[in-house]
């Protein structure tokens, strides 16, 4: 865990504990434990499945989408930094994609931004990844990959701060 200048060590420690619990809950296949890390109004921006608001929706997304479509998760958080309000983590994430052609291991390199409440709960989670080659290699069709990329691009274009770029 890196600590930016001026960051209280307890804030960095809380963030390290949060991302550790987050990764462990994903690896254990516990959607309720993942959702419990979020505030009641927490938002999870998933690159593949979209945006989910509130603990119940986040729990359902993991249960009904993530754990339906893949298994044998491994999520290694690297280079995590936090100032107590905003945290970032570079990560390697892998899983076995469940598909009719058989299980195939997917390894994804990415990063996440966590906005935290004063109590240390996750208020908003965003992710960026370079995992499309891995998904394609695992058998995901080009139409599926295109849909994911365009959905992400639509979300970026819809952000108020993006208006100045057009």
Q: Domain with 33 in it: what CATH number?
A: 3.10.450.50
Residues forming a β-bridge with 94? 74, 107
pTM for this model (two decimals): 0.83
pLDDT in the model for residue 144: 79
Residue 136 belongs to domain spanning: 9-165
Q: Of 69, 60, 100, 80, whose CA–CA distance to 3 is shortest?
A: 80
| Residue 4 belongs to a domain | no
* pLDDT by position in tens, the chain (length 166): 444 555 667 777 889 899 999 999 999 999 999 999 999 999 999 988 889 999 999 999 999 999 998 999 999 998 888 988 999 999 999 998 887 666 678 888 999 999 999 999 999 999 988 777 777 777 777 887 888 778 778 877 888 888 888 8
In a domain, residue 19? The reply is yes
pLDDT at 104: 79
Q: Which two tokens stand for residue 109?
A: 């390199």
Number of domains in the chain: 1
Residue 39, pLDDT score = 98
Both structure tokens of 130: 């370079």
pLDDT tens by residue, 118-146: 999 999 999 988 777 777 777 777 887 88
HSE (side-chain half, CA atoms, 13 Å) at 74 = 10
**What pLDDT does 90 receive?**
93
Residue 1 falls inside a structural domain: no
């Amino acid at each position: 865990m890196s600590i930016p200048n001026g960051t209280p060590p307890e804030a960095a420690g809380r963030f390290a504990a949060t991302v550790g619990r987050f990764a462990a809950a994903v690896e254990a296949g516990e959607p309720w434990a993942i959702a419990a890390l979020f505030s009641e109004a927490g938002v999870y921006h998933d690159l593949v499945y979209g945006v989910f608001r509130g603990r119940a929706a986040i729990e359902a997304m993991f249960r009904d989408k993530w754990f339906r479509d893949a298994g044998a998760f491994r999520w290694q958080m690297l280079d995590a930094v936090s100032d107590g309000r905003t945290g970032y983590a570079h990560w390697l994430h892998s899983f076995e994609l469940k598909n009719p052609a058989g299980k195939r291991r997917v390894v994804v390199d990415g990063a996440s931004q966590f906005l935290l409440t004063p109590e240390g709960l996750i208020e908003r989670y965003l992710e960026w990844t370079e995992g499309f080659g891995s998904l394609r290699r695992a058998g995901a069709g080009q139409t599926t990959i295109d849909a994911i990329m365009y959905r992400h691009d639509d979300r970026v274009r819809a952000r108020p701060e993006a208006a100045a770029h057009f």
